[in-house]
Structure 1
Amino acid sequence: MLLSQSHDNSSFFQPSAFLLIGIPGLEAVHGWISIPFCSMYTLALTGNCLILLAVRRTPSLHQPMHYFLSMLSLTDLGLTLCTFPTTMAVLWFDYCHIAFDACLVQMFFLYSFSVMESSVLLAMSFDRFVAISDPLCYASVLTNSVIGRIGMAIVTRATVSLFPVPFLLKRLNFCPDKVQLSHSFCFHADMMKRACADITVNILYGLYVVVSTGFVDSLLIALSYGLILHTVMSLASSKERAQALNTCVSHILAVLVFYIPGIGVSVIHRFGRHAPPIVHALVAYAYLVVPPVLNPIIYSVKSKHIQEAILKLLRRKG
């Protein structure tokens, strides 16, 4: 039973826990559904760990592009570990409770890693711009110290942007009859809808975070690729142009894999009120689970250096 927390104001209610759900309408087959989900989580964890180990143990990969790839793998691991425990608890054991404060913590880290991933993709677009527009100065511009500062800035930006969100939710009065969330993890918009209070401040701050991070990052990524295309078109031969663009394919795919489901989540939460619950669930899973699964595959397939490093690593393990 969910109990209210005590407050001086008797009309103020905060649930001690929220109820999570798996795939709406498919509760009877959660055991079977857990198989592909467990496989995807295993792929995400294994693939990103292999990328990190390959870069760390291969001196020839100690380059700016691969350092940024390591940052991407770290954020993907963070996203995966944020949702894995609660999702598999619901699907495997039908354990649907999550403490209110634990829900706030999960939501904070989930969105923090999401903002970090957006920032890393922006940094990677800058890396590609410098590599193509001024290759002779590439190593002198993106030194190890510069990359380290970029990494610190990414973490600081995400932490500062998301820090107020749990406290803004904590102050709200919640409805006693609305303690069931729409996913197997805690989304900001989902939690806000369970409040019986004015959530204008929460909506505005959430919009500010989205605009100042994802929207700005996507615009800057588009701008960087506009400049890259301008540089590539000025190259003399078609072979040089193809080679330059080929170095960007992995990053472009990673951007699409991250931003398309992210846009889908935003649209479905704001305009898809009448959409079936299963649509909300699948779009959310696509946003949080698919990028960590696909990014290691994309970079392993497109980069022979990464392929060789991973194969060498696996042979050592074998």
Structure 2
Amino acid sequence: MSISNSTIFMPSVLTLVGIPGLESVQCWIGIPIFAMYLIAIIGNSLLLIIIKTERSLHEPMYIFLGMLAVTDIALATSIVPKMLGVFWFHAPDMYFDSCLLQMWLIHTFQGTESGILLAMALDRYVAICHPLRHATIFTHQLVMQIGVVVVLRPAFLVALFLVLIKCRLVLYHSTVISHTYCEHMALVKLAAENVRINKIYGLFVAFTVAGFDLIFVTLSYMLIFITVFHLPQKEARLKAFNTCTAHIFVFLQFYLLAFFSFFTHRFGSHIPAYIHIFFSSIYLLLPPFLNPLVYGAKTKQIRTHLVKMLCS
């Protein structure tokens, strides 16, 4: 139902443009994206199989890694199929409610991944700084409780996005989203009214989840480094540092890419749209793509079991 020539009341269908300015080459951009998606699915599935079948890996660090692998598979799958539908099959239309569901899935899985990285940092802190207490603190019951919390926290906060959008954003200037997926700010910018409260709540959730996690992850690794540098034996320092290198790399690539996309999308008005939309599409796929490669290369136990599984 149209209110005026330029205002649309509660559109039932939205249209995803993809990457504005690169429509003519999107079919080629889809090829490396599909390759990254395929590697992400295979790599994370192998991680899950190894962690599940090897009883020696049923420890908190590897259980958290298994949770991360499940989250990565879910995050990539919530983005790539529709993105490839836009790039390859010229299927840009999306029901409004489906758009909201995709938004909820993407931001929930992002928040879940952030929470798991925090849990992994705390696990490494206790294991290195208080090794004698690690087994009594990080019990399987606590690990499962942490898993429930890191999923429910973003799921609830992001669900409020949907409530605010459905209840307050009823008039829209356009139904065309200049993006490859249904992103919160990209949708909010289409609205003709009540935009401010949605933008403020978006910032609140971003800094409540990512900001909180970032502070405590950074603090955990600072305390770990202080403890490691005070270890008397060089071999002990190297062993402790090596157990954290994969986590640190994953932590840095996740947060640096996330904050780059966040700030360019909101404050980078002078940056061409195709640049920050391209990077905001890629950065969601990079963690699922890189995480199994990093942990497979840097974690000796996983590497050993992988070789054994492939050679048997």
Q: Give yes or no for contact 2:14–2:95 (8 Å, CA) kept in 1.
A: yes
Equivalent residue, structure 2, for 1:199? 195
Q: Give yes or no for contact 1:41–1:289 (8 Å, CA) kept in 2.
A: yes
* Structure 2 counterpart SS, 1:95: coil
Structure 1 residues not aligned, in runs of 5+: none
Larger deviation: 125-134 or 30-39? 30-39
How big is the shift at 1:237?
Answer: 2.1
How big is the shift at 1:285?
Answer: 1.9
Whether 1:224 aligns to 2:213 is no
User: 1:286, 1:34 → 2: CA distance?
Assistant: 11
Equivalent residue, structure 1, for 2:283? 287
Match of 1:78 among 74, 80, 96: 74
CA separation of 1:272/1:219 partners in 2, compared to 1, >3 Å: closer, same or farther?
same
User: 2:245, 2:17 → 1: CA distance?
Assistant: 37
Equivalent residue, structure 2, for 1:153? 149
How big is the shift at 1:256?
Answer: 1.0
Larger deviation: 135-144 or 183-192? 135-144
Whether 1:143 aligns to 2:145 is no
Q: Give yes or no for contact 2:180–2:281 (8 Å, CA) kept in 1.
A: no
- TM-score with structure 2 setting the length: 0.94
How big is the shift at 1:74?
Answer: 1.1
How big is the shift at 1:199?
Answer: 1.4
Residue by residue, what CA displacement relative to the aligned partner does 1:91-136 show, whole Å, maximum 9, x if unpaired?
1101101110000000001000000000000000001001101112
Equivalent residue, structure 1, for 2:211? 215
Aligned runs of 1:1-318 on 2, under 5 Å? 4=1, 13-171=9-167, 172-176=169-173, 178-316=174-312
Residue by residue, what CA displacement relative to the aligned partner does 1:214-235 show, whole Å, maximum 9, x if unpaired?
0010000111111112211221
Q: Give yes or no for contact 1:118–1:217 (8 Å, CA) kept in 2.
A: yes
User: 2:22, 2:199 → 1: CA distance?
Assistant: 31
How big is the shift at 1:5?
Answer: 8.4
Give, as a single letter, the amino acid of the residue that structure 1 aligns with 2:305: A
CA separation of 1:200/1:29 partners in 2, compared to 1, >3 Å: closer, same or farther?
closer
Residue by residue, what CA displacement relative to the aligned partner does 1:241-279 show, whole Å, maximum 9, x if unpaired?
222111100000011111111001111122112311211
Q: Give yes or no for contact 1:129–1:228 (8 Å, CA) kept in 2.
A: yes
Give, as a single letter, the amino acid of the residue that structure 2 aligns with 1:57: T
Identity across aligned pairs (percent)? Answer: 38
Structure 2 residues not aligned, in runs of 5+: none
Give, as a single letter, the amino acid of the residue that structure 2 aligns with 1:181: I
User: 1:315, 1:18 → 2: CA distance?
Assistant: 49
Give, as a single letter, the amino acid of the residue that structure 2 aligns with 1:196: A
Residue by residue, what CA displacement relative to the aligned partner does 1:63-116 show, whole Å, maximum 9, x if unpaired?
111001011111111110110221010111011011100000000010000000
Q: Give yes or no for contact 1:20–1:185 (8 Å, CA) kept in 2.
A: yes
Aligned length: 308
User: 1:93, 1:51 → 2: CA distance?
Assistant: 32
CA separation of 1:276/1:21 partners in 2, compared to 1, >3 Å: closer, same or farther?
same
Q: Give yes or no for contact 1:132–1:244 (8 Å, CA) kept in 2.
A: yes
Q: Give yes or no for contact 2:18–2:181 (8 Å, CA) kept in 1.
A: no
How big is the shift at 1:12?
Answer: 6.5
Give, as a single letter, the amino acid of the residue that structure 1 aligns with 2:184: H
- TM-score with structure 1 setting the length: 0.93
Give, as a single letter, the amino acid of the residue that structure 1 aligns with 2:69: S
Give, as a single letter, the amino acid of the residue that structure 1 aligns with 2:275: V
How big is the shift at 1:28?
Answer: 2.0
Q: Give yes or no for contact 1:55–1:70 (8 Å, CA) kept in 2.
A: yes
- Tell me the C-alpha RMSD between the 2 structures: 1.6
